[in-house]
Amino acid sequence: MSGIRGGRNFKRRGYPHKHQSGYGDYDFNVNGVNEKGQRHENRGGYSQGGKTGRGGGHPPGLKGKAIGLFYRNQAMMKKSAMGEKSLNFSEPHYYSIEPSTEEIIVDLLRESYKEDVSNDAKDSKNSTSVSNENDVKNIKENYGHIKESQFKRKFLDIISGSIQEKLAQSMSLTSSFVKSDKLNKLLKEEQANREKSSRYQNMMEFRSKLPSFKMKDEILNIIDRNQVIVISGETGCGKTTQIPQFILDDAIEHDRGSVTKVICTQPRRISAISVAERVAAERGESLGKSVGYQIRLEKILCRDYGSILFCTTGLLLQFMQSNPALRGYSHIILDEIHERNTESDFIITLLKQVIPKRPDLKVILMSATLNADTFSKYYDNCPNIHIPGFTFPVDEYYLEDIIKMTRYKFPPTQKMPNNYKRHLKNFKDKQEKSKSFSEFIEPALRQMEAENNYPHWVINELRNPNSEMLSLDLIQQLLQYICECKDPGAVLVFLPGLMDISNLSKNLLSSGKFPPYKYAIYSLHSRLPTTDQKLIFEIPPPGVRKIIIATSIAETSITIEDVVYVIDCGKMKLARFDVIKNIETLEPEWISLANAKQRRGRAGRVKPGECYRLYTRAREMTFDQYPTPEMLRTPLEEVILQAKILQLGRIDVFLGSVLDPPTDRAIELSLELLRTLNAIDSKECLTPLGYHLACLPLDPRTGKMIIWAAMFSCVEPVFAIAASLSFKDAFHAPLGSTDKVDKAKLELGLGHFSDHIALAEALRRFEKSSSYREAHRFCSDNFLSWNTLKLLSEMKQQFAKHLYEMKFLDSDNPNDKQSNRNSNNIPLIKAIVCAGLFPNIAVAHGQNFQTSEGEIVKIHPSSINQKQKSLPTPYVTYYLKQKSTAIFLHDTTCVNEGALIFAAPKSSIKSQGGRTIIVLHKSLSFRCKQSTARIIQKLHEEFDKLVEHKISHPGTVRWGSEEGNVIRAIIELIS
């Protein structure tokens, strides 16, 4: 397969004996690490793409039947492209192994284990769960086959305990808080010195004008008298920056500073950093003293007393895994809870069990909009205090006003095309939407005509269904109107997604009407590195107007002081999980009234502002009051694992107690995936693997990848892939550079038809750079974010540390030689990615692909494989299936049959009409010879035993033993 040069050279052909450790006789022609830790440089051929894989010859290293299979797959792909009969999931595909390869695998599997691993695995599989989770004796009997170890003690504690026991254990720990008169005195002196500084006094002059400051005593009194309170505040009232300081300053003044540490959560990374920096500045000090922040892989920590720590909501949930009682914190402030993200809803529910055990812990829930009653009722009608906003007046204009100002005309609706049969479904969909639009809008337009407030031609424009479609041309015309007719001030434009931001920026720059000497145009979205996000706060030189084009990330917490004008498109992209079709969607939707209010509030911070809404007053009347909680629209696998590691009992009971419980179907789908991953058993208890996955800061699929990478000794590339999938893509496309970005990604893919390999190779070359300057040049040449790659590199270190502590690695260095003996085996890396993502498999179907659920889908344009004329095999594995303008597969890798057979966790063998069938999934199977089926069945059995043993007895694979032979046999099958 790809990446292999020449024959396999085993002992019969150079293959090492059992007493030899390593797998060094493999010789590869791709960039990677060989057995001696040396890098191989790529020298063209199949690795670079060349002609191979595109109809110009077979990859080097293939012999005999493998060459025939390669050309068979090529022919299948050509048939698919020509619209002939394609592969699909309904019929078994054909699979075979070379006789010499079969012989090698049989030899490797011939001897049984010296250790009685088979008995371990058998016992483990029979111990699916316990009838009574609190019956510790029964649990110990069920897992008696596991040797006594730190892992066993922790695992048994998790599956046999409850949240109440975990809280009691947490409460028994020595608190970092010790009341100290000496520290209290020092803090008072520090505060007195701070108050004398001119920097602090200037800040106090500003702070004293905020509405929250005028309510300081009232806020402190209500916090003092109650354990839980809800604070709602309008935009600009100062609640996020002031309330943590009120609490800390009051504690210092009353000699409680030594036992006060406030933790304040923010929904986004940039919010945690920017708010921490602002609060530190208001206190006249640098970060790291009384104010700090912690987000994933970035932190400037404050001291453990007399301090305020800002962090993301997800980080607080991680803290609670090891410290559920939150010992060492005096106040928990959950900010922006109106956004209803999954982590904040989870913590709000969990805290109801914590506060009875911690009567000294104060919980402050802060919401920017007026849905505070919901949270107050959830906490037994706890007190609710409202802070009025402080903004200058903001004039509001709706679509009818904007058309009148700009005299914009929408393009006419399309007529039925000549080749109407081909477009019939799309046309019918548009017709139905148009009819629905007319039925809704016509009564409102008749009312407008009766009131005679708008010209007739404006009302006619509003009759066009295209008036409710996102129009970048209209936004550009509106921006020109603001820039030509309005006073100086920054403009903030809200758009649904990254592509819209990119297209509008491109349009503005290419129009010639927004020259750089007069306009500073910035993008703001979640994929932008944190350092680039910070640029939006800079004040431009006199005579230059700042235009910020952002997603909903700019709605809350981020205050851009000089924004005067807001353009609100009225839509945002929301990820939703369709439980019926089992698919995620990401499509623009109308915002809620709460979102609209937040967007309006971004204007008018420094002077009277204006908000331009690209929808009618009539449309606004149909908006929901608040956004749909994230827990109701996204998969729940990570939530379930978090609940299990926190010992919260049956998941349907726990999730039934959250503010807005998800449906039973959504819960069952996530449980089904976790069972497929073998993370939970049939009775919903964590398995040993599930325990490990829950302890990792990753979603279960990428968590499985890195554990498998440790077992197969290829951690460097797989860790890079897992880091990128769980964090963000390092590639970014500057305006007008999409084709260049695609070319760079294709080159980094090394001809292996894999977005995942491209990600790993990008990080490998970045880390190989000999200097800071060389790394920056590499990033610039390949359209990569230096900061993102730096964070991904740190994540690899974090994964290695986790797996070293879990005993799956002998070193906490991800570049360790022993941990990377197979890191140059590209087919193996692909197979491990496939194992983590299974059953996310699609097979070529005409010019598109068919998923295991039977859907016809496309590969997303950002993927390497969307650019290929043909693929070496008809199978791809993918990270995400998401519906936007079509159903797209994101982050894809082309895999071979061996990878699929390895990846399927519950395959079976059956006979059908005299044929032997390997069933990998309910909709994916292969025909094969009976001898091949027996070998595969035996290989799966031995690997399952090995996995069971290693997961419950954490340790590295001993390559010189029989367990090393099992791993070698699998590598032989895959490669």
For 900-935, what is each residue's pLDDT tens digit?
999 988 788 888 777 888 888 877 888 888 888 888
**Per-residue confidence band for 17, with pLDDT thresholds at 50, 70 and 90:** very low
* pLDDT of amino acid 71: 60
pLDDT tier at 82, thresholds 50, 70, 90: very low
Q: Which of 406, 407, 492, 397 is nearest to 457 (CA)?
A: 407
pLDDT band (50, 70, 90) for residue 432: low
- The residues pairing with 916 across neighbouring beta strands, listed in sequence order, are 911, 928
Mean pLDDT of 761-788: 91
pLDDT tens-digit profile of 585-617? 878 899 999 899 889 988 877 789 999 999 999
Q: Do β-strands 609-613 and 362-367 pair in parallel, antiparallel, or remain unpaired? A: unpaired
Backbone φ and ψ of 520, nearest 5°: -105, 110
Domains assigned to the chain:
181-387 (3.40.50.300), 395-408+471-572+594-630 (3.40.50.300), 636-684 (no CATH), 692-894 (no CATH)
Q: pLDDT value at position 30?
A: 30
40 pLDDT band, cuts 50/70/90, is: very low
CA–CA distances in Å: residue 321 to residues 340, 419, 515, 648, 814: 21, 60, 52, 11, 25
Separation CA 909–CA 920 (nearest Å): 9
β-pairing verdict for 583-590 and 571-578: antiparallel
The rounded percent of the chain whose pLDDT value lies above 70 is 82
Angstrom distances, CA of residue 239 to CA of 12, 231, 294, 597 = 74, 8, 20, 17
**Per residue in 632-658, pLDDT tens?**
988 899 899 999 989 898 999 999 999
Distance CA 745, CA 863 (A): 9
**Which helix (H) or strand (E) covers residue 36, if one does?**
none
The residue ranking higher by pLDDT, 34 or 793, is 793
Average pLDDT in the chain: 82
Give the burial class of 339: count Cβ atoms within 10 A of its Cβ; 0-12 exposed, 13-18 middle, 19 or more buried.
buried
Greatest CA separation for the chain? 93
Residues 6+ away with beta carbon under 8 Å from 77: 844, 870, 871, 874
Phi, psi of 154 (to 5 degrees): -65, -45
Residues 6+ apart with CB under 8 A from 627: 339, 340, 574, 591, 592, 594, 595
Examine residue 697 and say whether the peptide bond preceding it is cis (omega within 30 degrees of 0).
Answer: no
Which ranges of 713-838 does DSSP label H, i.e. alpha helix? 715-726, 738-748, 755-768, 772-781, 786-805, 826-837
| pLDDT value of residue 118 | 37
Site of tokens 């906003």: 389
Q: Indicate if the pLDDT at residue 709 is higher than 70.
A: yes
Query: Pick the residue with more confidence: 145 or 53?
Result: 145
Which residues 6+ apart lie within 8 Å of 401 measured at CB? Answer: 612
Residue 549 CA: distances (Å) to CA of 497, 500, 603, 644: 10, 9, 14, 41
Q: Please enumerate in sequence order all residues whose Cβ is within 8 A of that of 361, keeping only pairs 6 or more positions apart, or say none.
A: 227, 326, 329, 330, 331, 332, 354, 355
- The proportion of the chain whose per-residue pLDDT surpasses 90, expressed as a percent, equals 46
Hey, which residues does 915 pair with through a beta bridge? 912
Question: Collapsing DSSP states into helix, strand and coil, what is residue 139?
Answer: helix
Chain segment 837-875, per-residue pLDDT in tens: 998 999 988 789 998 888 899 999 989 999 888 899 999
pLDDT above 90: residue 5: no
- Examine the pLDDT at 32 and tell me if it is beyond 60: no
The answer to whether residue 669 scores a pLDDT higher than 80 is yes
For the record, the structure tokens of 282 come out as 């208001």
| pLDDT for the residue numbered 131 | 40
Alpha helices of 392-529 — where are they, by DSSP H? 399-406, 420-451, 456-462, 472-485, 498-511
Higher-confidence residue of 100 and 64: namely 100
CA distance 902 to 891: 20
The structure tokens listed for 163 are 């949240």
**pLDDT: is 348 or 419 the higher one?**
348
pLDDT higher than threshold 90 for residue 304: yes
Sort strands 261-266 and 307-312 into parallel, antiparallel or unpaired: parallel
Give how far Cα 845 sits from Cα of 81, 89, 752, 882, Å.
Answer: 9, 10, 21, 18
